[in-house]
Amino acid sequence: MISNSLQDNEIRPVVSLRRVSRTYGEGSGAVIALDGVSVDIRTGDFTAVMGPSGSGKSTLMNVAAGLDDVSEGDVVLGGAVLSQLGDDARTRLRRSQVGFVFQAFNLVPTLSVDENILLPFELAGRRVGAEERQWIDHLVHTLGLADRVTHRPSELSGGQQQRVAIARALASRPAVIFADEPTGNLDSRSSREVLTLLRTAAREYGQSIVMVSHDPVAASYADRILVIADGRLVGDHGPLSPQQIADLLIGFEVGAA
C-alpha cells in the first residue's frame, strides 16, 4: 500500500546539489572545499558521507543545509533554491525543514534536557501535539534519557549530551536531518543504539538523514554511501558491510590526517 505522497517523495529528492562549488579565501591562498558536486539526497534515505579529513564533508553538509553559501551552483531544499532566498526566509526554511546534530552538541546550557528537545518547536512557534509527545517520549526512552529530562546539559556526560542533541533533531521530524559525526563521542554500545535509532527513523518513519562519518561501522547502517575526496564526489554506493567500506576508503586515505 503506497500512498501518493510517498510516491511523490520518491520522485522528489529532499535536497539537491547542482554543480556546487565552495571556495574559501582568494588568490593563491584559496581553498576549493567543494568542486562541482552534483547529487540528489533521496527522501527517506539514510545517507552516509565519507572521505578523508579535509575532503569537504562538513562543507557539503553546511551548504546543503543552508548554513553556508555556495560559491557556484545551486542547492535546492524543500523545493526552494537557497541562493534565491533572503536571510530571513532561509532561516525560516531551515527551522521548519532541517534538524542538526553536530559533534559539539549545541545544547542550550540554561535549559533542561526536556526543554532542549522541545526547542525546535519553540523556535518554529509550534505546539507539541499528543502524537508528537508520544514520539518524543519514545525517543527519550530509547536514548536512555528518561531519568535525565530535568537535568541541565552540564550535568550530563558527553555521550548523554549527544543523545539529547539526537533526540532534539528527531523530535520534530524535519524533512531532513544533517548529522556531522554524531557518534564520534559515544562508546560503541551508545553508538549502536544511536545508529539503530537513525536507521529505524529512516525505515519506519521515512526520516531523511545525512550523516557525515569517518567510521565504516557507522556508515554500514546507511542505505547509501557517498564518498568525497578533494571536494569531489568520487563514490556513490548502496549499503555495504564495514569491511567493504573500509576497503573502499583505503584508496582515498592517502594524505589524510
Nearer to Mg ion, 47 or 58 (CB): 58
Instruction: Select from ligand ATP, Mg ion, none the partner in contact with residue 33, using the beta carbon and a kind-dependent cut-off of 5 to 8 Å.
Output: ligand ATP
The answer to whether 160 and 107 are in contact (CB under 8 A) is no
Q: Which does 31 bind (CB under 5 to 8 A by kind): Mg ion, ligand ATP, none?
A: ligand ATP
User: Whose Cβ is closer to Mg ion: residue 41's or residue 49's?
Assistant: 49
Partner whose binding site includes residue 54, from Mg ion, ligand ATP, none (CB under 5 to 8 Å by kind)? ligand ATP
| Residue pair 84/161 in contact by the 8 Å Cβ criterion | no
Grid cell digits, residue 255: 594524505
Binding residues (CB under 6 A) for ligand ATP: these are 24-25, 31, 33, 51, 53-59
**Residue 251 interacts with which of Mg ion, ligand ATP, none, CB < 5 to 8 Å by class:** none
Which three cell numbers, joined as nine digits, stand for 133?
509527545
- Report, in Å, the least distance between residue 75 CB and ligand ATP: 15
User: Least Å distance between CB 231 and ligand ATP?
Assistant: 7
| Distance in angstroms (rounded) separating the CA atoms of residues 19 and 196 | 33
Please tell me the distance from the alpha carbon of residue 159 to that of residue 251, in angstroms, as a whole number: 32
CA distance 58 to 55: 9
Residue closer to ligand ATP (CB basis): 31 or 89: 31
Rounded Cα distance between 180 and 184, Å, is 9
Instruction: Indicate the SS3 state at residue 216.
Output: helix
What is the torsional sign of CA 89, 93, 96, 101? negative
Query: Which residue, 55 or 161, has its beta carbon nearer to ligand ATP?
Result: 55
Shortest spacing between CB 140 and ligand ATP, in angstroms: 29
Residue 95 C-alpha cell reads as 527551522
Tell me the closest approach of the beta carbon of residue 57 to ligand ATP, in angstroms.
3
In the complex, minimum distance from the CB of residue 189 to ligand ATP, in angstroms, rounded to a whole number: 24
Nearer to ligand ATP, 98 or 117 (CB): 98
Distance (Å, rounded) from C-alpha 176 to C-alpha 88?
19
What is the binding site for Mg ion (CB under 5 A)?
A: 58
